[in-house]
Amino acid sequence: MAFEKDMSVAQERASKIKLFAHDIHGVLTTNTVFCDVEGNRRYAFWHMDGFGDLSLMANDIKPVFLDSTSMDGEGLFRAKELKLDKMYFAVTDKLAKLEELKKEFGLTDEQIGYIGCELTDIPVMKKVGFAVAVADAIPEVKEIAHYITKAPGGRGPIREICEVILRAMGKWDEWVEKVTKMGYK
């Protein structure tokens, strides 16, 4: 099953984004869970995805963690490390949470982007202006996405989509120049 997407449509939609929400498990992490004999779970995060979230923030796009699984120490640590204002775990109704955020920030659906990988992401992806699927998302998610990353979950999809959004807005070259002159901390 091929999932070619119209890049001009994706760019048009990406150019309007003011809030970009994403799942954690399967997007920021691979679909691998490390467990020790005591039942402690561990996840790994791709460093460059953090740069993607920070780059969005620096360009006036609000990144939001919106995950349906329970809060884990790693996810919370990563959100705090990135200094995210909005992070939600154990969300049973992602669409309702997104509606709250939309009202809080005075946004329209077309100003919101979302990246997901699994069935729980479909209602949100059908609602937002820019729906993105990671490369290893399930077929149903890829089908409704406006853009499918080349990167699989946990291997750089946020970094990739950050560049897509900033290029669509005409901000990428200026951002590259700024980062290369100052470094990024």
Residue 26 CA, distance from chain mean position: 11
Find residue 112's DSSP bridge partners: 19
- H-assigned helices in the chain: 7-14, 47-58, 73-81, 94-105, 122-127, 139-144, 157-168, 172-182
Number of domains in the chain: 1
Residue 180 lies in a domain: no
Task: Tell me, yes or no, whether 183 lies in a domain.
Answer: no
| CATH number of the CATH domain containing 91 | 3.40.50.1000
Convert the pLDDT of each residue in 57-110 to its tens digit: 999 999 998 887 765 666 777 777 778 888 887 888 999 999 999 999 999 999
Q: Does residue 182 lie in a domain region? A: no
The reported pLDDT for the residue numbered 3 is: 63
Q: Residue 19 carries which side chain, given as an amino acid letter?
A: L
Cα 52 to Cα 159: distance, rounded to the nearest angstrom: 4
Q: Compute the distance between CA of residue 130 and CA of residue 113 in angstroms, rounded to an integer.
A: 4
**Residue 165 counted as domain residue:** yes
Q: What distance in Å separates the CA atoms of residue 70 and residue 177, rounded to the nearest whole number?
A: 39
Q: Is residue 100 part of a domain?
A: yes
pLDDT tens sequence across 26-66? 888 787 777 788 877 767 777 788 888 899 999 999 999 88
